[in-house]
Amino acid sequence: MADLSQEDWKKQLEEDNNSVVLDVRTQEEVDMGIITDAIHIDIYKGQGFIYELEELDKTKNYYVYCRSGGRSGQACAIMNQLGFNNAYNLIGGFSEWQGDVAFKD
């Protein structure tokens, strides 16, 4: 796991053609906006979170965020334990994000 600044996370993500953006916030937080093209798996699902992670492709590079960087750091640690080699935590999370945001219907 690596903690990346907003600038480094964005730059690395733009250059990575094997990337997946993962939002681990609650549904209520996602309803207020989500980073464009991110997939959402709520870390508070407990074992359900683990099950959903297990369905993901472990050869991809995961760029993980939450509201401020705490939960996404935990998610990256869990992912590493499950055999994901590349999980990058966004320091400052969505609350400091300056990039594109989508709103789900």
- Pairing state of beta strands 61-65 and 19-23? parallel
Q: 22: exposed, middle or buried (C-beta count within 10 Å: 0-12, 13-18, 19+)?
A: buried
The residues annotated as belonging to the active site are 66
Residues in CB range of 20: below 8 A, 6 or more apart: 39, 56, 57, 60, 61, 62, 63
Partners of 63 in the β-ladder: 21, 88
Pairwise CA distance, residues 99 & 66, whole Å: 15
